[in-house]
């Protein structure tokens, strides 16, 4: 028990230093959502820490003496890193570019060299097995660090991670819904992500309830049943619905995380429930599909006083464009950029400097609406132009 306490202390320290280093440009997005975040039962420590972050002088990270000393410790070491997202998408592209940005900064400041390898299935078949064999292959090739986000079974992956650790490869997970598993069963060094329950599902449910004044009918378009993300987000969303007895989930359908299925599902549900007040798309692509269904059905989109509220989750440039255009009501930005920067920092601290890192590192997430969309979008756009790609 005391062990976990110590770890969480370390985590807090690690995070606050890191966020001092990384939070350039977070700005209004975070500040606007801190209120919402603190409403959750499990507030991510990074939430408040990141908001206090300030900009460091360009090029220098910890002051010139610190930088020079760290550079000595690094001694020009080359780090071979493998990164495997479950699929290539806009979301993971934002994350990869953010990682590149941070890698370039660390390389400039400390002389650490990166060898980056990306590996993602195309979704045709054997996607899950492919990721398992990818991690095994990287282990065989003695990679220094491996970053994984996967739909493969939890228990299977823990075996794969243990094998990797035994042969000297440090495994980190990102964007993985680890919160629905027992912490001591997770055999990675660290997990960089967010709590899908409190930092995504709950936020979406609460936003809908608050916007509609606690009363209304909701349709949910879910990801594939059985997926860990779907399970976790649904727990949070259901909690928010339960806190608002006036809210009623009237219909639910499987949108498979893709737009055309989200569109079809929303069209079909709108046929049966024409009087809905809100649609919850469990990811952004499905929310955008639902948006098209609402438009095609000639129904009114939320304009601040009435219409159908539509909220997604991911935080994509394309979703934010839709918010700017006044179509999508809101989305949950789950920190694609911060996840990318943070997992690079975590690897640097742990693998290169040999420091301890927290087992669960949660980045800030935020509800993006018309009010704060400019800041959120600028942050991602900035990350999409890294100084160097790997």
Partner 1 sequence: MSVRTRLTQTLAIDGLPVAAALALAVVFFSLASPFFLTQENISNLLTQSLFVIILAAGMTFVLIVGGFDLSVGAATGLSAATTMLVLMNGGALPLGILAGIATGMAFGIINGFFIAVMEINAFIVTLATLSIGAGALQVLTTGTQLTGVSLPAFAWLTKGSILGIPTGVVITLVIVAALEWVLLFTTFGRTIFAVGTNPRAAFLAGTPVRRLTFSVYLLSGTIAGLAGVLLASHLNSVQPGLGQGYELSAIAAAVLGGVSLAGGRGSVWRAVIGALFLATMAQGLQLIGVDPLWFSIVTGASIVIAVAFDRAVQQWVIKQLAAATTKRQIFDDSDASASVSADAPTTSATRSSVRNTK
Partner 2 sequence: MIAITAPSQRFSRLLANPSAGAILLLVILIVAMSVAFPNFFTGINAGNVSNQMVFVLLLALGMTVVLITGGIDLSVGSVMGLSAGIGAYTITSGAPLVVGLLTTMAVGAFLGLINGIMITKLGLPDFIATLAMLGVARGALFLWTGGVPIIGYMLPEYYVISGLSQPFGFITVPILIAIVAVVVVAVVLKFTSYGRHAYGLGSSPHAAVLSGVPVARIKVIAYMISGLMAGVAGMIMAGRNTTVAPTMGLGYEVAAIAAAIIGGAALGGGRGSAFGAVIGALVLSITANAINIAGVSSSWQQVVTGGVLLLAVVFDRVSSLIRARSARLATRLAHA
Nearest approach in angstroms of CB 112 to partner 1 is: 20
Q: How many helices (H) and strands (E) does the chain have?
A: 14, 12
Tokens 């499987």 belong to 254
For the chain, how far is it from start to end, CA to CA, in angstroms? Answer: 41
Pick the binder of partner 2 from 263, 309, 334, 383 (CB under 8 A).
263
With CB under 8 A as the contact rule, which of the stretches 19-27, 87-95, 164-172, 302-310 interacts with partner 2?
Answer: 87-95
Subset of residues 103 to 122 that bind partner 1, contact rule: CB under 8 A: 117-122
The residue (of 95 and 160) whose beta carbon lies closer to partner 2 is: 95
Does position 285 interact with partner 2 (CB under 8 A)? The reply is yes
Does position 73 interact with partner 2 (CB under 8 A)? The reply is no
Query: What residue 65 binds from partner 2, partner 1, none (CB within 5 to 8 A, per partner kind)?
Result: none
Query: What residue 260 binds from partner 2, partner 1, none (CB within 5 to 8 A, per partner kind)?
Result: partner 2
Pick the binder of partner 1 from 38, 64, 133, 389 (CB under 8 A).
133
Query: What residue 292 binds from partner 2, partner 1, none (CB within 5 to 8 A, per partner kind)?
Result: partner 2
Distance (Å, whole) CA 351 – CA 354: 5
Does position 238 interact with partner 1 (CB under 8 A)? The reply is no
The CA–CA distances, whole Å, from 84 to 106, 147, 220, 269, 330 equal: 21, 6, 29, 35, 29
Tokens 């059905």 belong to 297
Does position 253 interact with partner 2 (CB under 8 A)? The reply is yes
Does position 141 interact with partner 1 (CB under 8 A)? The reply is yes
Does position 54 interact with partner 2 (CB under 8 A)? The reply is no
Tokens 């349709």 belong to 219
# binding residues, partner 1 (CB under 8 A): 32
Q: Where does residue 76 fall: left (phi above 0), alpha (psi -120 to 50 degrees), or beta otherwise?
A: left
Residue 371 has a CB neighbour count (10 Å cut-off) of 13
Residues contacting residue 221 through CB under 8 Å, at least 6 positions apart: 252, 253, 254, 255, 262, 265, 266, 269, 279, 280, 281, 282, 286, 287, 289, 290
The residue (of 118 and 349) whose beta carbon lies closer to partner 2 is: 118
Binding site for partner 2 (CB under 8 A): 87-90, 92-93, 120, 122-124, 222, 224-226, 251-254, 258-260, 263-265, 267-269, 271-272, 274, 285, 288-289, 292, 295-297, 318
């Amino acid at each position: 028990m005391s062990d976990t306490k110590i770890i969480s202390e370390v985590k807090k320290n690690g995070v606050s230093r890191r966020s001092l280093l990384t939070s350039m440009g977070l700005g209004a997005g975070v500040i606007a959502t801190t209120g919402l975040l603190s409403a959750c039962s499990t507030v991510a420590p990074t939430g408040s820490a990141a908001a206090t972050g300030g900009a460091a002088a360009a090029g220098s990270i910890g002051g010139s003496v610190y930088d020079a000393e760290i550079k000595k410790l690094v001694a020009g070491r080359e780090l071979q890193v493998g990164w495997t997202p479950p699929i290539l998408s806009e979301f993971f592209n934002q994350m990869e570019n953010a990682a590149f940005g941070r890698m370039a900064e660390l390389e400039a400041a400390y002389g650490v060299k990166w060898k980056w390898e990306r590996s993602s299935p195309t979704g045709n078949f054997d996607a899950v097995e492919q990721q398992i064999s990818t991690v095994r292959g990287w282990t065989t090739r003695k990679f220094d660090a491996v970053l994984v986000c996967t739909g493969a079974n939890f228990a299977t992956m823990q075996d794969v991670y243990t094998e990797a650790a035994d042969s000297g490869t440090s495994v980190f997970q990102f964007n993985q819904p680890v919160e629905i598993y027992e912490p001591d069963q997770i055999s990675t060094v660290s997990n960089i992500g967010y709590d899908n329950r409190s930092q995504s599902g709950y936020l979406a449910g609460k936003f809908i309830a608050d916007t509609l004044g606690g009363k209304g009918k909701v349709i949910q378009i879910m990801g594939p049943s059985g997926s860990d993300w779907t399970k976790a987000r649904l727990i949070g969303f259901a909690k928010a619905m339960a806190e608002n007895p006036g809210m009623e989930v009237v219909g639910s359908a499987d949108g498979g995380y893709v737009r055309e299925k989200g569109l079809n599902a929303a069209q079909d549900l709108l046929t049966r429930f024409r009087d809905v007040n809100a649609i919850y798309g469990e990811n952004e692509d499905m929310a955008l599909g639902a948006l098209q269904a609402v438009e095609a059905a000639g129904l009114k989109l939320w304009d601040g006083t009435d219409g159908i509220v539509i909220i997604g989750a991911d935080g994509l440039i394309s979703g934010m464009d839709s918010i700017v255009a006044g179509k999508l009501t809101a989305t949950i930005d789950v920190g694609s950029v911060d996840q990318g920067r943070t997992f690079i920092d975590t690897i640097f601290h742990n693998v290169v400097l040999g420091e301890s890192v927290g087992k669960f590192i949660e980045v800030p997430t935020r509800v993006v609406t018309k009010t704060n969309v400019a800041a959120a979008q600028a942050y991602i756009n900035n990350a999409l132009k890294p100084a160097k790609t790997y």
